[in-house]
Structure 1
Amino acid sequence: MSTISRAAAVALIEAVRHEAAAAGFGVATAVTDAGGHLVAFERADGTPFLAAEVAVDKAWTAASFRLATHTLNAIVADPQVAPLAHHPRLMAVGGGVPLFDGDVCVGGLGVSGGTAQQDVDAARAALKSQGFSVPD
């Protein structure tokens, strides 16, 4: 199974930290492999402690479903799949994105600490700066 390297995970975390600092918020950032296992994590000083767990769960959710978590938010609004929203680790809030190498998912990135839109923006900017595809 292809997976993200630790070096690439750390580079993504540094890129997220830079974007969040420029936007004026502290951030917790998590990177998982394709199986949802944590590869790298960082929580900036002063970032709420809950953001740490949320970032890990956003990365896990994005890797699991191979979808951005803001997209999954709209999906779980459908009554036929709404029960998924009760899964303890599912985090259908913007800021989680799958990581692809070509067509292969190699992991997930989770960003938490700002508003959902700030988290999405920081994740997208970090992906772009590191050469990953950027989901809609």
Structure 2
Amino acid sequence: MVRTAPSLLAGALLALAAPLTSAAEEGTFNTPGLVPETAMKVVEAAMTECRDRDAQVAVAVVDRGGNTQALKRDQFAGPHTTKTAVSKAWTAISFRTDTLELRDISEPGKEGYGIQHLPRVTVLGGGKMIQNGGRILAGIGVSGAPSGAIDDECAAAGIDAIREEIL
């Protein structure tokens, strides 16, 4: 009987722990995100796309909490481009809308007018959400191309470079 007492005690502890585990699982959630290497792959692909268009840019990836995860600025990109790229990425995840779309709905007389005056918000093209199955993983911001539309296309190229990895 002495040998079975420890196993009975272990069994009783496991039985008690099982309900705690399922209760803990119900009270938490998993938040997916990009690993640093994948975030850098997004940055590199977006920058390559812009370089192919003769545009010197800064590219930033922020995690879903808005924290900068990866950032790179081309040698001749303007000094403002790093902060603008981060702000575009932050804006996209914060509003859960790409910044090109936000630009269009924030014009005078539109329903989103005024959001561009909020702190950290940048409603210029080039900020996009990086998503998988409708869940936001991160945001990308590109700044410095001749237009917001080109910034946006470069950001899309960055996302396309990792599409297979995040599915």
What does residue range 1-80 of structure 1 map to in structure 2 within 5 Å?
Answer: 1-77=31-107, 78-80=109-111
Whether 1:123 aligns to 2:152 is no
Cα RMSD (Å)? 1.4
2:129 is paired with a residue of what secondary structure? Answer: strand
The alignment of Structure 1 onto Structure 2 pairs a total of residues equal to: 132
CA distances 1:22-77 after superposition (whole Å, capped 9, x unpaired): 10011100000111111110111011011111100000001111111000111212
Q: Deviations over 1:85-110 (max 9, x none)?
A: 10121111000000102221011000
Task: Please tell me the residue identity of whatever aligns with 2:143.
Answer: S
Residues 84 and 102 (structure 1), Cα distance of their counterparts in 2 relative to 1, 3 Å cut: same
Structure 1: unaligned runs, 5 residues or longer: none
CA distance in 2, matches of 1:4, 1:84: 28
| Cα distance in structure 2, aligned partners of 1:10 and 1:28 | 13
Partner of 1:109: 140
Paired with 1:23 and 1:82, the residues of 2 have a C-alpha distance of: 32
8 A Cα contact 2:102 2:112, kept in partner: no
Name the amino acid aligned to 1:94. Answer: G
In 2, the alpha carbon distance for the partners of 1:14 and 1:101 equals 20
CA distance in 2, matches of 1:4, 1:87: 27
- Is 1:87 the equivalent of 2:118? yes
Give the TM-score normalised by structure 1.
Answer: 0.91
Q: Which structure: larger Rg?
A: 2
Name the structure where helix makes up a greater proportion of residues: 2
Partners in 1 of 2:66 and 2:132 — Cα distance?
16
Larger relative contact order, structure 1 or 2 (CA cutoff 8 Å, min sep 6): 1
